[in-house]
Amino acid sequence: MFNEMKMDDQIREPYRALVEWMEASGPEVLEQKRLEAETLFRKIGITFAVYGEGGDPERLIPFDLIPRIFTAGEWRKLERGVKQRARALNTFLYDVYHNAEIIKAGIVPADLVFKNAAFEPAVIGIDPPRKVYSHIVGVDIVRTGPEDFYVLEDNCRTPSGVSYMLENREIMMRMFPDLFKSLRIEPVESYPDMLLKTLKSIAPDKCDRDPNIVVLTPGAMNSAYYEHSFLADQMGVELVEGQDLFVSDGRVYMRTTRGPERVDVIYRRIDDAYIDPLCFRPDSVLGVPGLMNVYRSGGVAICSAPGAGVADDKAIYTYVPDMIRFYLGQEPILNNVPTWKCGKPDDLKYVLENLGELVVKEVHGSGGYGMLVGPASTKEEQVAYAERIKADPGDFIAQPTLALSACPTFVESGIAPRHVDFRPFCLVGDNIRLAPGGLTRVAMREGSLVVNSSQGGGVKDTWIMTD
Amino acid sequence: MLSRTADNLFWLSRYVERAENMARLMEMGYRMALMPAVGDGNRSEWESVLSASGCHAGYDPNAPLRQEEVANFLIFSRENPSSIINCFEAARASARAMRTAITAEMWDALNSSLMELRRPSMHNLAKNELPEFIDWVKKQGALFRGSTDSTILRNDGYDFIRLGTFIERADNTARLLDVKYYVLLPETSMVGDGVDNYQWTTVLRAASSLRAFHWVYRDDYSPYRIAHFLILNPFSPRSLAHCAEQITQHLERLARHYGQRHPVHGQSVEMYSMLTQSDMEEIFSTGLHGFLSDFQGRNRALSAAIAETYHFGGQ
């Protein structure tokens, strides 16, 4: 296992100043800081609800005080790799809703795209502004060695967690002003500004003024409501619900105390199925009746574009390196994790024979639900899971259990290494932008590889050092 | 500002004010019930409280009209949309739906009121120590208004909050005065006897206005004076005249802020001048109850006009 702080009993370069500072401060100071940080989080009210678990709907995500650190060199590679991926994914989306060249070339199977539940026939042939579908791409990256980074999955719809990246930094700067003064850490607070620029840049052609932007939330009961209100607040735009918007004469308006006000760009945090009851689920009260018609006629931009989800499906994921080669004529900078597709007979056989060593996931699942972590599972769990796979092989993929890197983390017994992953947020509009940072998630239990907040994972601040 | 936000702010403060006024109504019922029954008073005090609260229709016709049952209905009943607990639930729900439009202090006040009210021990307090429970509710109202007053921006949102407060308060002061009508019919027949005077001072107490009244009128507890204090006196903080003045001022602020006047502005001025041009003699001779009913109708119409003008409610 790669420990990002220590290698061969040597403190690795990016962590040296931090370790020196921690040793000079002593455990009491750190414990004191930890308590202070928790109080701050409670006070700000950063919470995350977990569906279907009952209990406190306004629960805190565990925040770990020890930052995860990348050198400038490491970051440059990640940045290039993430941008390359975001560009390829958007090109793929434009392609599958237009000429489908990649399918004609026999690189991606037609069924995987056209029979995909996330494929949206309603937007075939539509040109979204700047031909961008996924404006915020969250790429989940894991590390297994000093130079070894793998992409675990892409999130092309509405990746969440960026508010933690910003709030974690805010808390860290309050807790450790000395460190921020003496070290050269790239700032991340430009993210809301970059997001606003990106959203403005995708205003529809019909928009003839400074575009009016809104964040569309399903409402206060949603688990990520805090993030929705935080982003709206940071960008200085309205946070609206479906009932606040209406369609009239081919445009979208919001109801304000001064009367109807036109809306040009909607950063929606609700799923495709709910955005327009006339077009999708008729029982949805979260969306805006008629929105899709306006979108199709270029009266409003929607971020992410309806139908963008077809690119972040776990079955499509396996083809992303091929997409990069096909569209960009480049070799992928970041590798995929080798993946077996249970829909292929040979792969299925291998997976069933090696369940104990593999991580198996549902193709359409997310949030760490419904997966099998082979080495951590019992024989009975494996047998039960094998039955599920056999019932519908095409619904599952498997990957080797990677030796995820670990970072020092505060746990009950003191400071110990815990496994981490990393999600930077890439913005795609007139430019491709990436704030120097991202969300580091950490599995708080010893040996656990599951970092999802819905499964008890925590978060860390991520520092990118300057040269 | 989003219309939904304005709607939430307006109703948030209405619900807090309503909870407090439910408590004030009960205070009146409680005190009046301590007096021996009046000869021709053909209804009980608690039934009067129910009638004045506007919740009588929802009350189980077979349930006894005693303090314990009526108070429980007005405080804890989930079926009664205006029960104190439902008022606080609705206020907190409005607040949560627009966290960015209110301050942390306001949120904290609403949140802690509701959390406390949900405790089982509150049932015992209300059952055994109703006056103490009533004081608690009044304090929660004060806490919310105080937090609002000292923390919120003086923008259009502030105006919608204050409009909600004074629309609801005007309605409730009219209801308080009406309890008196339900207890004693007709008002004018027994003016001046001991019980009558006691009941009138009870109205003052429930409006937290007994001491203020002393300062203004000394010891002249005549029904005219008391009714004047709660209806026409612009210095009395719960009087209809003061509420109407505040409503008019906040609507004027909105007109300046948005640079546009609407029919609702005239409507509010008209309600205010109706009050400044009335005198008590005339109100009593044409009938207090009729006057109050007319006022409540105007107030309701004004509330609906505000919602319509600023594009919220009934969409």
CATH classification at residue A215: 3.40.50.11290
The alpha-carbon gap from A255 to the nearest alpha carbon of chain B, in Å, equals 6
What tokens does A289 get? 């009746």
- Position B45 in a domain: yes
Asked if the Cβ–Cβ distance from B258 to A258 is below 8 Å, we say: yes
What's the number of domains chain B is made of?
Answer: 1
Q: B306: nearest CA in chain A?
A: A257
B256 lies within 8 A of chain A by CB: no
> Chain B residue with minimal CA distance to A260?
B311
- Compute the distance between CA of residue A152 and CA of residue A314 in angstroms, rounded to an integer: 9
The answer to whether position B200 is within a domain reads yes
Q: b or e along B245-277 (b: 16 or more beta carbons within 10 Å of the residue's beta carbon)?
A: bbbbbbbebbeeebeeebebbebbeebbebbee
pLDDT the model gives residue B148: 95
A244: nearest CB among B2, B100, B156: B2
Task: Indicate whether A253 and A194 sit together in one domain.
Answer: no
Helices (H) and strands (E) in chain A, counts: 15, 23
- Indicate yes or no: CB of A257 within 8 angstroms of CB of B6: yes
| pLDDT tens track, chain B, 315 positions | 999 999 999 999 999 999 999 999 999 888 888 876 554 444 578 888 888 888 888 999 999 888 999 999 999 999 999 999 999 999 999 998 887 788 888 988 998 899 899 999 999 999 999 999 999 999 999 999 999 999 999 999 999 999 999 999 999 999 888 877 666 544 444 555 566 777 788 888 888 888 888 888 877 777 788 889 999 999 999 999 999 999 999 999 999 999 999 999 999 999 999 999 998 888 988 888 899 999 999 999 999 999 999 988 753
Angle at A299 between CA A222 and CA A155, to 5 degrees: 40
Phi/psi region, residue A389 (left: phi>0; alpha: psi -120 to 50; beta: rest), is alpha
| Whether residue A232 sits in one domain with residue A171 | no
Class of residue A65 by CB neighbours under 10 A (exposed 0-12, middle 13-18, buried 19+): buried
Residues A214, A74, single domain; the answer is: no
In this structure, what CATH number is given to the domain that contains residue A370? 3.30.1490.270
Please tell me which of the candidates A43, A243, A259 has its beta carbon nearest to residue B311: A259
Q: H helices then E strands: how many in chain B?
A: 15, 0
Which of A355, A377, A400 is where one domain is finished? A400
Q: Do A233 and B100 touch (CB under 8 A)?
A: yes
pLDDT, residue B40, reads: 45
Checking if the pLDDT of A129 tops 70, the result is yes
- A256 and B1 within 8 Å at the Cβ level: the answer is yes
Q: Are B2 and A232 inside 8 Å of each other by CB?
A: no
A31 and A134 co-located in one domain? yes
> Which of B7, B1, B19 lies closest to B307 in space, CA to CA?
B7
Q: Is B87 contained in some domain?
A: yes
Give the phi and the psi of residue B209 in degrees, each rounded to 5: -120, 10
**Local structure of A330: helix, strand or coil:** coil
User: In this predicted structure, which of A228-237, A316-325, B107-116, B197-206 has the lowest mean pLDDT?
Assistant: B197-206
With respect to residue B7, please indicate whether it lies within any of the assigned structural domains: yes
**Is residue A1 included in any domain, yes or no?**
no
Helix A191-201 and helix A162-175, axial crossing angle in degrees, nearest 10: 150
Residue B195 burial (CB < 10 Å; 0-12/13-18/19+)?
middle
- A94 and A229 assigned to the same domain: no
For residues A396 and A407, state if they share a domain. Answer: no
Pairwise CA distance, residues A68 & A459, whole Å:
10
At residue B277, what is the residue type? Q
Asked if B156 lies within 8 A of A257 by C-beta distance, the reply is yes
- Is A255 within 8 Å of B4 when comparing Cβ atoms? yes
Closest B-chain CA to A221: B97
Of B3, B96, B260, which is closest to A256 when you measure between CB atoms? B3
Query: Which pLDDT score, from 0 to 100, does residue A260 have?
Result: 95
pLDDT at A455 > cutoff 80: no
CA–CA separation, B74 vs B23, rounded Å?
Answer: 9
Residue B11: C-alpha distances to residues A184, B5, B79, B166 (Å): 50, 10, 19, 11
Q: Is ipTM over 0.85?
A: no
| A196 and A130 in a common domain | yes
Q: Domain count of chain A?
A: 3
Domain hosting B246: range is 3-309
Same domain, A168 and A295: no
**Could you tell me if A47 and A180 lie in one domain?**
yes
A366 Cβ contact list (under 8 Å, min separation 6): none
Instruction: Classify residue B314: in a domain, yes or no.
Output: no
Alpha carbon distance B87, B106 (integer Å): 16
**Cβ pair B2:A258 closer than 8 A:** no
Residue B204 lies in a domain: yes
C-alpha distance from A155 to closest chain B C-alpha (Å): 27
In a domain, A378, yes or no: yes
Q: How many CB pairs under 8 A join A and B?
A: 44
Residue A323: partners with Cβ closer than 8 Å, 6 or more residues away? A88, A89, A91, A92, A102, A107, A108
The answer to which of A114-128, A264-278, A414-428, A451-465 has the lowest mean pLDDT is A451-465
Residues A386 and A439 in one domain: no
Its domain, for residue A224, covers: 205-299
Q: Are residue A328 and residue A430 in the same domain, yes or no?
A: yes
| B275 part of a folded domain | yes
Domain assignment of residue B291, yes or no = yes
Residues A212 and A116 in one domain: no
Cross-chain residue pair A244–B4, CB shorter than 8 Å: yes
- Check pLDDT > 90 for residue A140: yes
